[in-house]
Homo-oligomer: A and B are copies of this chain.
Amino acid sequence: MVFWKKLFNNTETTANSTTSSFEGEVLSSSDMDVSQSRIVFSTERDLDLYELEELCDRVGWARRPLRKVKKAIQHSFLVVSMWEIKGKKKRLIGFARATSDCAFNATIWDVVVDPDFQSQGLGKAMMKYTIKKLRSADISNITLFADPQVVNFYRRLGFMVDPEGIKGMFWYPD
């Protein structure tokens, strides 16, 4: 099992600024065995949709038309991806995105972490990165809809269930 320090570097960094537009924020590794690898966060939205689909497959999500996934990414306010970088190889290991009115509210959707990288604080780190990005855009009301098994995960990040009795509600077509 690999453990990662749950610490961001203080500055935004570029993984390889000369050969790639892949910009992100580096999470340090504390494990000697993987000293050649780093975890990097990015808000680039030019993702390989097949790689994203593969990640979603790994957590058992129902497949969605890539055409619609592409459109959803294009029209999201924020797209966050998490990568394991080993030498010249990068592997997509996490994803989240948010819709927003760019002013008051944001809603986070499609939070996924590769099962091989779960339970190491990486989901938490990715969510903190996401919150930080939304806060830097002056969004104050950050919302999401959590499946029962991840409610406590989000609670630990400071999310509240039904504050002041406000209820999340869903409408689906018949």
Tell yes or no: A143 within 8 A of B by CB. yes
B172 touches A140 (CB 8 A): yes
Task: Give the nearest-CB partner of A169 in chain B.
Answer: B159
This protein's copies in its complex? 2
| Inter-chain contacts of A154 with B (CB < 8 A) | 169
Complex contacts, A109 vs chain B, CB 8 Å: 101, 104-105
| Interface contact B141-A166, CB-CB below 8 Å | no
List residues of A whose CB falls within 8 A of some B CB: 64, 68-69, 71-77, 97, 99-105, 107, 109, 131, 135, 140-148, 151, 154-155, 157-173
Question: 4 closest Cβ contacts across the A-B interface?
Answer: A168-B168, A148-B165, A72-B103, A72-B101
